[in-house]
Structure 1
Amino acid sequence: MTAIYKDAGRPVHERVADLLARMTPEEKFAQMHAYWLILDEQGNHRERSDLSDEFAGVSEQAALNERLKLGVGQITRPLGTHIVEAKKGVRAANRLQRTMMEETRLGIPALFHEECLVGLLCKDATLFPSSLNYGSTWDPELVKRAAQQIGKEARSVGCQQGLAPVLDVSRDVRWGRTEETFGEDPWLVGVMATAYVNGLQGDKRDLLATLKHYVGHSFSEGARNHAPVHLGFSELNDTFLLPFEMAVKLANAGSVMPAYHDIDNQPGHSDRFLLTTVLREQWGFDGIVVADYGGVSLLHQHHGIAHDAAESAALAFNAGLDVELPKDDCARHLADAVARGLIPMSQIDAIVTRVLREKFRLGLFEQPYVDENGIDLQSDETREVASRSITLLENNGILPLSGKPRLAVVGPTADDPLALLSGYSFPVHLIISDMLEQTDQVTTPLQALTHYLGESHVQYAKGCQIIEKRMAGAPVFPGDSSGKPMQQSPVSDDIRLIPHAVRVANDSDLVVACVGDLAGLFQSGTVGEGSDTDSLNLPGVQQQLLEALVATGKPVVVVMTGGRPYNLQGLEDRVAALMMAWAPGQEGGWAIADVLTGRAEPQGRLVVSVPKSAGAMPFYYNHKLKSGGTPFAFHFGARYPFGFGLGWTTFNWGKARVAQNTVSIDGEVTLSIEVKNSGERSGSEVVQVYVRDKVASQVRPLQELKAFQRVTLSPGESATLTFTLPVDLFNFTRRDGKRIVEPGEFELQVGASSADIRDVVTVEATGETRVLPGDWRMLSQCVVHKA
């Protein structure tokens, strides 16, 4: 007789209950962690071992083959851990899965996860633009299409869970992981994240998106990686929890990953209130919670709230964790934790029920293997995202370029493929040697401009190095050494290449100066996870290079790439143009050249403010009135505000009108405005609607984005945009933790950026203070009617 759990025709809950009843405690514990392996087609798998083990505090473990007989919850990054051809990697993963299905007592399949923030982190997969690029498009549907393609590639290699998207809300661009965010507005982050999750998971949720880093990771002390966060629940909920709530409720996200830091002395991996009370009980989340790599070990290794690994495991799993990643550093001590009374078997059963439920629901028991001939790893979707995210900040009329000028393409990022990629791109993530051989699909700005203009019209000079030798673990902008010897920064201070760049510039009609970042994890680059900064000056001697180029008197067009905005220390007023391309991915060179030459319009709008200096940090547009100090600090503020971006044309705006000046507290506001293309070229504008609560029972920000819409118009063409905003969007979190809307007056600010407000109207919400239900209305709508 076939066991119930093996019968695909039975309901999932019956299959889970039957299988759970058959499992030994050791088999249950095995489902609560992963293994991080270098897989082998012949079954000679071995554990990954490198410097990360030292970070996580891992000691010697029992023989791998013996432990695998108990099964395992997940396998960590089978194709993203090392350089392996996709077919070979899939064959090796299938071999391991065969062991799980045929050589273990119960035949429970493993679930494979990979990173997929900027494309599947796998050799030869498409290298997508960064999350800042996604956000800068202000186009959720485009983000959804990109995520659909990433999901397609992930499914083709057998990935069932992707560790993305990042829902951290940027507060301080010194933070190295700023490049992973969608920007600094919590509602916009929620909208983009919802689109990404919907695209990645698909209608069937047959690939789990993982919301991270839950929660507040981006508001750390000094913008330093893992540093503590100081927040009350009202601000935590309004700013940092909001995107997670939206992605859970609107997109049915399948997984959540807690963050490394502590909030008010409570580490994220042991926070039962956030992981269970808020996430599961209040929001109705029904997926699995997976640890950030090594995060459980840090409860005793770094945070000091547990004595040992067993206690750390109990704290995390009691709080609401389901699976320890990337290994079993603490989960292998669960038997000890149970014996010591630190965690009951009833909690173990509840966790394993959730893990098994996802495996059954994903169809792993029926389809555990991957077709190696179905692998599909390349897409042309990246060019549109890259092109439409490029943001023009300055232009004295030189752009778009006309004709075929003699061009000097200068700078350390002009012909470096890695400079177009972010920290979670495969070639950057695995900087252990020379990874340039893994960047054949990347087109650099120099290559694209040479293709368009011809070799006779383009001269190249590198001008300077950012980092002369890329290597893992190289410290960049080291912080407090705590008595240890200070490490030497690998950022180059060599200016010997600048004179040659000046000669090339003098022999040209104009200069395209390519500057910015080199992404790299843990201080192997100038931006990325663990690569935080104390300055917003360009890394290395790039500022000296720009000053020398501007001094030639030639027009200088600056193209900045990277994971955070930098200051040009006053050169913004002297360059001919300034363009922010972020980390545009493998098609980034084409996208940059398309915009420079007028083949494409710069449609990007800033999703992070560009602060005046590091002294303005933390800075974000949706601050409170007193944020600038009293008197107003001269160094506070942004040179380029949130929502800002130039195009090829100009627009005239009409007056904003509301259908009613008074609206019920549970009703909707209808606002309309006419926009006309008053220039000579087709182009697009992003109409943005901000709300200000004029008088509230708690301090509120000066403005908060609540609606936006891009409209593309031909010369002379006009359109009326009609926005519908539920009054629910005017909410904030009361001291008792409930989202409420209070009656009163609200300003609706309509503009082209947070600082370029074209009109303001006021509406009054009437009625009694309203506590929002769980299914409160989180989205606004817009209808565009062209004349």
Structure 2
Amino acid sequence: MRPDYKDAKRPVNERVADLLARMTPEEKFAQMHAYWLVLSADGDHRERSDMSDEFAGVSEQVALAERLKIGVGQITRPLGTHIVEAKTGVRAANRLQKMLVEETRLGIPALFHEECLVGLLCKDATLFPSSLNYGSTWDPELVERAARQIGQEARSTGCRQGLAPVLDVSRDVRWGRTEETFGEDPWLVGVMACAYVQGLQGEKRDVLATLKHYVGHSFSEGARNHAPVHLGFCELNDTFLLPFEMAVKRANAGSVMPAYHDIDNQPGHSDSYLLTTILREQWGVDGIIVADYGGVSLLHQHHGVSHDAAQSAALAFNAGLDVELPKDDCARHLAMAVERRLITMTKVDEIVTRILTEKFRLGLFEQPYTDESAIDLQSEETRKVARDIATSSMTLLENNGILPLQGKPRVAVIGPTADDPLALLSGYSFPVHLIISDMADSAAQVTTPLAALRHYLGDDHVDYAKGCHIIETRLAGAPVFPGDSSGRPMQSSPVSTDQRLIPEAVAVARRNDVVVVCVGDLAGLFQSGTVGEGSDTDSLTLPGVQQQLLEALVATGKPVVVVMTGGRPYNLQGLEDNVAGLLMAWAPGQEGGWAIADVLTGRAEPQGRLVVSVPKSAGAMPYYYNHKLKSGGTPFAFHFGSRYPFGYGKGWTEFACEGITLLGPDVPVEGEVVLQVVVRNRGERRGSEVVQLYVHDKVASMVRPVKELKAFQRVTLDPGACATLTFYVPVDMLNFTRRDGKRVVEPGEFDLMVGNSSANIWASTTVNVVGTLQIMPINWQMVSRCVVNCE
């Protein structure tokens, strides 16, 4: 007779209960981890092994074929682990799935996950711009469109869980993973995260988005990878937990991934308060919590809070973890943990119930295989969205009037990033991610700025010189795990100090009308680049000798337009006052060259606005616009602050505020603030502006930031035209966290500030919130809205 769990007509909970009752302890343990395999279409699968094994603490294991007979919860990155054509990779994954479904005792399918942050991480998938580009668009609908296309590529290859988005709130741009963030404002990060999750998961939630890195990972000590985080709960909740809360409650995110660090001596992977009390009991997360790669092993390998792998497994799973990724380094000791009474089978059953529930919800039992003929990578629509994101994120910081370039001037295109496809990509894009494994893949789908400018201006109008190197040879770095290098040699920096190419670049600049110099970063994990995971910095000076190159080019007297790409902002050491233009392009992906050229030549407007401040110097770090009054020091520190603040960006025209009206000076504590703003395009070209609304709590029972973003709206107007923007901000959004952990809104006065950046405030007014103190309910109002009426 057919078992109940195979009957698709039965409710999911009945199917789960029936299957769970049939499982042996070993079969249950197998669902609580993944295998990281190099799959083969002929079934000769093997385990991946490289330098990261040292990081995770791997040892010899029983033969893979024997372990697969009892099943497995997930397969780690079947297409993203090595260079394989998508169709071949899907065929190999289907072969493994067929074995699990048809040749194991219970036929439980595996769930395949991949990285999806900047597009599906596999060969030939669309290479999307970075999260900083997503944020810089200030366009949640566009971000949702991008994530929808990424989700489509993922589904077509059999991926049912994407390890994205990143909800870390940038606090210190020296941190290598800044490129993975949406920016430094927690509410904006939450808005963008919700859009991304909704797009990736779709209405059916048939691909699980994974919120990471939970939580506070970006406020690490010294902005160093994995370093401890020093935070009290109030700031943790208001700044770092807020985006996760929004994405769980508003977007129904299907998965969460804890982070590597510890907060106040408690590692994230064993923090029951964060993983269970908050996520499940307070917020109602109903999906699965998965480990960051090797994070469970770090409990004994690095943090020293357990004696061995069995105890680490028990700590993590008791705290709230469901699945160990990427392998079974600790989960394979669960039988021992049960025997030692470190974890109970009741807890194991609770966890496996959640895992099986998600597999049934995803339809894996009914459709375990992927159609090899339906793989959908690099579609016209997907490439278009990638280009739209790239173009909309171009952020113009300086312009002396030279931009957009008129006609077809003779242009010298110079710089180490001008014709390097990898320079336009993030660390979690497929070609860059391979470097850490000493593999290389073609990035032929990438259009560089040089190629795009040659296309638009003609080969005879464009000269090129590299000018200098950033890293001459892209190889895997030599990270030392953990951070202590005692008794172990550290690799010297791979960044080039060779200045021999600069004279040629100067000669090329002198024989042309305009110089476009492309500088910035190279993404690469664990010191294989200058930015990215494990590639942190101690300086905000451009890596290598790029500053010397810039100085030599500016000294020619030719107008110099700087195009900066990469995963963090850098200072030009005072040259900002001498360059003709400065365009921040971040890591704009495969269509980035077109986006850069479109803005330089005036085919597109620079619509991006900064989502991370550009600090005056590394000495200002950590710096973010929503700091507290005393952050600047007493007396005020001259090195503190930002030349280009959060929200800043120039366009082709100028907007101005012509009126601000508060509709009701007194607002009940359970109501909403309504503010009308009249803006006009005072320039001679059609253009757009992002109107931003900030709030400051004038007197509160706890210290509050100098200002906080609570609403924004892009408005596009013809020359001379004006529009009335009506903002509706729920008073709920004026809350903060008390020492007892509760979010509250206190009655009192709040400054409302409207401008086109956090520093350039056009007008302000004050609203008085009246009533009694309010404790926020579970589903408090987290978003504002704006209605635009153009005259």
TM-score normalised by the chain length of structure 2: 0.99
Contact 1:474 1:489 in 2 (8 A): no
Contact 1:118 1:424 in 2 (8 A): yes
| Aligned residue type for 1:98 | K
SS of structure 1 residue aligned to 2:205: coil
Determine the C-alpha separation between the residues in 1 that align with 2:369 and 2:670: 50
Determine the C-alpha separation between the residues in 1 that align with 2:129 and 2:627: 28
Determine the C-alpha separation between the residues in 2 that align with 1:586 and 1:487: 31
Q: CA deviation at 1:439?
A: 0.5
Is the aligned partner of 1:495 residue 2:499? yes
Deviations 1:605-662 (A, max 9, x none): 0000000000000000000000000000010000100000000001121121111000
Aligned match for 1:544, one of 545, 548, 569 = 548
| Aligned residue type for 1:537 | T
| Aligned residue type for 2:284 | G
Q: Which residue of 2 aligns with 1:338?
A: 338
Map 1:14-53 → 2, pairs under 5 A: 14-53=14-53
Q: Which residue of 2 aligns with 1:737?
A: 741
Q: CA deviation at 1:586?
A: 0.2
> Percentage identity across aligned positions?
80
| Aligned residue type for 1:719 | A
Determine the C-alpha separation between the residues in 2 that align with 1:741 and 1:612: 34
Q: Which residue of 2 aligns with 1:516?
A: 520
Contact 2:211 2:244 in 1 (8 A): yes
| Aligned residue type for 2:661 | R
SS of structure 2 residue aligned to 1:705: strand
Q: CA deviation at 1:431?
A: 1.1
Aligned match for 2:573, one of 557, 569, 573 = 569
Contact 1:516 1:539 in 2 (8 A): yes
SS of structure 2 residue aligned to 1:522: coil
Deviates more, 1:723-732 or 1:478-487: 478-487
Determine the C-alpha separation between the residues in 2 that align with 1:366 and 1:502: 64
Q: Which residue of 1 aligns with 2:208?
A: 208
Is the aligned partner of 1:320 residue 2:334? no
Aligned match for 1:609, one of 602, 613, 619 = 613
Deviations 1:424-461 (A, max 9, x none): 00000001588775201000000000000000000000
Determine the C-alpha separation between the residues in 2 that align with 1:375 and 1:400: 40
Aligned match for 1:706, one of 704, 707, 710 = 710
Q: Which residue of 1 aligns with 2:86?
A: 86
Determine the C-alpha separation between the residues in 2 that align with 1:377 and 1:250: 29
Determine the C-alpha separation between the residues in 1 that align with 2:755 and 2:601: 28
Determine the C-alpha separation between the residues in 1 that align with 2:107 and 2:80: 25
Q: CA deviation at 1:487?
A: 2.2
Q: CA deviation at 1:120?
A: 0.1
Relative to structure 1, the CA distance from residue 436 to residue 551 in structure 2 (aligned partners, 3 Å threshold; closer, same or farther) is: farther
Determine the C-alpha separation between the residues in 2 that align with 1:475 and 1:552: 41
Determine the C-alpha separation between the residues in 1 that align with 2:784 and 2:656: 24
Deviations 1:506-531 (A, max 9, x none): 00001000000000000000000000
Determine the C-alpha separation between the residues in 2 that align with 1:433 and 1:24: 37
| Aligned residue type for 1:439 | A
Determine the C-alpha separation between the residues in 2 that align with 1:374 and 1:434: 31
Q: Which residue of 1 aligns with 2:763?
A: 759
Determine the C-alpha separation between the residues in 1 that align with 2:579 and 2:59: 55
Determine the C-alpha separation between the residues in 2 that align with 1:425 and 1:110: 24
Map 1:176-215 → 2, pairs under 5 A: 176-215=176-215
SS of structure 2 residue aligned to 1:654: strand
Determine the C-alpha separation between the residues in 1 that align with 2:487 and 2:615: 33
Q: Which residue of 2 aligns with 1:420?
A: 424
Relative to structure 1, the CA distance from residue 437 to residue 285 in structure 2 (aligned partners, 3 Å threshold; closer, same or farther) is: closer
Q: Which residue of 2 aligns with 1:775?
A: 779
| Aligned residue type for 2:273 | F
Is the aligned partner of 1:225 residue 2:229? no
Relative to structure 1, the CA distance from residue 5 to residue 285 in structure 2 (aligned partners, 3 Å threshold; closer, same or farther) is: same
Is the aligned partner of 1:581 residue 2:603? no
Q: Which residue of 1 aligns with 2:239?
A: 239
Relative to structure 1, the CA distance from residue 418 to residue 269 in structure 2 (aligned partners, 3 Å threshold; closer, same or farther) is: same
Q: Which residue of 2 aligns with 1:301?
A: 301
| Aligned residue type for 2:84 | V
Aligned match for 2:696, one of 678, 692, 696 = 692
Contact 2:413 2:518 in 1 (8 A): yes
Contact 2:436 2:525 in 1 (8 A): no
Contact 1:124 1:438 in 2 (8 A): no
Contact 1:119 1:150 in 2 (8 A): yes
Q: Which residue of 1 aligns with 2:536?
A: 532
Q: Could you tell me which runs of 5 or more consecutive residues in structure 2 were left unpaired when the two chains were aligned.
A: none
Determine the C-alpha separation between the residues in 1 that align with 2:477 and 2:415: 25
| Aligned residue type for 2:371 | D
TM-score normalised by the chain length of structure 1: 0.99
Q: Which residue of 2 aligns with 1:636?
A: 640
Is the aligned partner of 1:459 residue 2:478? no
| Aligned residue type for 1:136 | S
Q: Which residue of 1 aligns with 2:110?
A: 110
| Aligned residue type for 2:27 | E
Q: CA deviation at 1:54?
A: 1.1
| Aligned residue type for 2:122 | C
Deviations 1:258-285 (A, max 9, x none): 0000000000000000000000000011
Deviations 1:30-61 (A, max 9, x none): 00000000001111100001101111110000
Determine the C-alpha separation between the residues in 2 that align with 1:432 and 1:438: 15
Determine the C-alpha separation between the residues in 2 that align with 1:437 and 1:34: 26
Deviations 1:558-581 (A, max 9, x none): 000000000000000000000100
Determine the C-alpha separation between the residues in 1 that align with 2:467 and 2:743: 54
Determine the C-alpha separation between the residues in 2 that align with 1:464 and 1:719: 48
Determine the C-alpha separation between the residues in 2 that align with 1:674 and 1:335: 67
Q: Which residue of 1 aligns with 2:288?
A: 288
Contact 1:214 1:257 in 2 (8 A): yes
Contact 1:475 1:524 in 2 (8 A): no
Contact 1:433 1:470 in 2 (8 A): no
| Aligned residue type for 2:689 | E
Determine the C-alpha separation between the residues in 2 that align with 1:164 and 1:83: 21
Q: Which residue of 2 aligns with 1:720?
A: 724
Q: CA RMSD in A?
A: 1.1
Aligned pair count reads 786
Determine the C-alpha separation between the residues in 1 that align with 2:484 and 2:187: 35
Determine the C-alpha separation between the residues in 2 that align with 1:67 and 1:580: 50
SS of structure 2 residue aligned to 1:192: helix
Q: CA deviation at 1:485?
A: 3.1
Q: Could you tell me which runs of 5 or more consecutive residues in structure 1 were left unpaired when the two chains were aligned.
A: none
Q: Which residue of 1 aligns with 2:602?
A: 598
Q: CA deviation at 1:678?
A: 1.0
